[in-house]
Structure 1
Amino acid sequence: MAVSFHSRSNSYPSRQHPQAAHVDEQLTRLRSSETASSSSSICQRLSNLQDLHESLEKMICLTVTNQALSQDQIEKLLGGSIKILDLCNIAKDSLSQTKESLKEIQSIVRRKRGDLSTEVKKYITSRKFLKKSFQKVLKNLNKNNKEESLAVFGEAEAVTVALFESLFSFMSGSKACGKWSVVSKLVSQSKVTCEAEVNEFTRVDHEFLQSGKSLKMEDVQNLESCIQDLEDGIASLSKSMIKYRVSILNI
């Protein structure tokens, strides 16, 4: 992938420039991991995206890069950074909401006091609402992602958006496995396949859909740990995005 612009300057760093070459390597690594969708792989991609935007921030600070960017291109970069920060906020709010619900349920189970069924119903209602919200976000992402990208910076935006598509799908859970259909329960082979695809969110969703009767605190704790890891990754990415945006504004 060539690092280039319709620039006003011939001094823009070429693909051989060390910083540009480093960014290309990071983008290639991120592209190769797009199909992975486990919690650990998503957290790793968040970390890689943080590194990528730190590299882009350094590239933005190069004098030759400043000279190569037109006002229109700068506006596009600013718009892209706002979109990604909005996605970070949506993800953070959703994770925080789910985590608070889990803490309340854990508290009831530990104290053996309170109405567990009511809290489980609240959790299920909240999850349904979040899933619908994610569907709207994903629909808008697919629509907006058809826009022409802006060289290396546009490519970085594309892989970042792809990460959030994976994240929101991961948090929504597999539709087929989330329902745990009668067919899957009767046919052992199908059930084994389905269980292999279940992630931390869908596993707890399934247990709560059984009115909490099959609730395993270990699964709840695993989900809580998963949420914490995702929150940490998104927080770090947000900080990098803010620095990246400030550097663009300083041009």
Structure 2
Amino acid sequence: MAVTFHARSNSFPSRLHPHATHVDEQLARLRSSEEASTSSSYSICQRLDNLHELHESLEKLICLPVTQHTLAQEQNKKAVEQLLDGSLRILDLCNISKDAFSQMKESLMEIQSILRRKRGDLSGEVKKYLASRKSIKKTFQKVHKPLKVAKDAESLAVFGEAEAVTVALFDSLFSYMSGSKTCGKWSVVSKLMNKKKVTCEAEGNEFTRIDTEKTLKMEDVQSLESCIQDLEDGVESLSKSLIKYRVSILNSLGN
């Protein structure tokens, strides 16, 4: 699914163009965050925000007359089809994420209700929550295999690079949610940079901290609920920017 046209061709906007330069800077920042040694809800939220901004910048790049001319050329037809296919698959990942968030929030509401009332089937609700997390991993494994080709393929196209870092983000997100990865100690700098985002506390993962009812605390459930909301907001923003991005590509074909 790698994009085959060359982003540095004579007909494509020069990398010195302000829009193209800005996209390059955003991609570099995303690649840098992707290579970080640890994952946390804070870092994933930051990457989601950055991806939202990246796709807004790409949409502006697509709207340039010279870019639209390039995308409309017959020799780039296959590349454009690949771009549209790739963006659609990523939108599928957004929808999978949102469905998972919805399922987990339902379980967490029931768990909080039981903890407040101090009666009810707490063990059963925790099992439902664990089942929803397991289903995330299985669903992702089904869609991850075809997408991995784009992630591993060598591509010089700026749109292909954007697709690769976006898929990598969802890899991190689903791994984090399923408990496949844990986060290390988060820095004081991270806390000061953005107090709104939920971060990892010392060592651990919000999603795995309530895996057993024996050590379940209300503050852990509330922390996870806040974490899910931040992630859901980030995915929703990314989804909207991806839709605009797809529309701009389709519009370029109609010109």
TM-score exceeds 0.5:
yes
Q: Percent identity?
A: 73
CA displacement at 1:108 relative to structure 2: 1.6
State the match for 1:203 in structure 2: 209
- Aligned partners of 2:57, 2:240: CA distance in 1, in Å? 13
RMSD (Å) for aligned C-alpha atoms: 2.3
How far does the alpha carbon of each residue in 1:109-150 deviate from its partner, in whole angstroms, 9 at most, with x for none?
212342222222222233333333334444443345334536
Give the 5 Å matches for 1:99-114.
99-114=105-120
CA spacing shift, 1:17–1:116, aligned 2, 3 Å: same
CA spacing shift, 1:241–1:175, aligned 2, 3 Å: closer
State the match for 1:153 in structure 2: 159
After alignment, is 128-137 or 66-75 more displaced? 128-137
State the match for 1:221 in structure 2: 222
- Aligned partners of 2:83, 2:134: CA distance in 1, in Å? 34
Q: Which of residues 111, 125, 138 is equivalent to 2:131?
A: 125
Give the 5 Å matches for 1:1-251.
5-6=5-6, 10-34=10-34, 35=36, 36-69=38-71, 70-149=76-155, 151-174=157-180, 197-205=203-211, 208=212, 212-251=213-252
- Aligned partners of 2:10, 2:134: CA distance in 1, in Å? 53
How far does the alpha carbon of each residue in 1:188-224 deviate from its partner, in whole angstroms, 9 at most, with x for none?
xxxxxxx95521111122xx2xxx1211111111000
Structure 1: unaligned runs, 5 residues or longer: 178-194
CA displacement at 1:165 relative to structure 2: 0.6
After alignment, is 96-105 or 10-19 more displaced? 10-19
After alignment, is 45-54 or 114-123 more displaced? 114-123
CA displacement at 1:77 relative to structure 2: 1.2
Equivalent position SS for 2:210: helix
- Aligned partners of 1:16, 1:28: CA distance in 2, in Å? 15
How high is the TM-score relative to the length of structure 1? Answer: 0.82
After alignment, is 143-152 or 67-76 more displaced? 143-152
CA spacing shift, 1:130–1:141, aligned 2, 3 Å: same
How far does the alpha carbon of each residue in 1:223-246 deviate from its partner, in whole angstroms, 9 at most, with x for none?
000000000000000000000000
Q: Which one-letter code corresponds to 2:111 in the other structure?
A: I
Choose between structure 1 and 2 for higher RCO, CA contacts under 8 A separated by at least 6 residues: 2
- Aligned partners of 2:182, 2:172: CA distance in 1, in Å? 16
How high is the TM-score relative to the length of structure 2? Answer: 0.81
Determine which structure has more spread, i.e. the larger CA radius of gyration: 1
Equivalent position SS for 1:201: coil
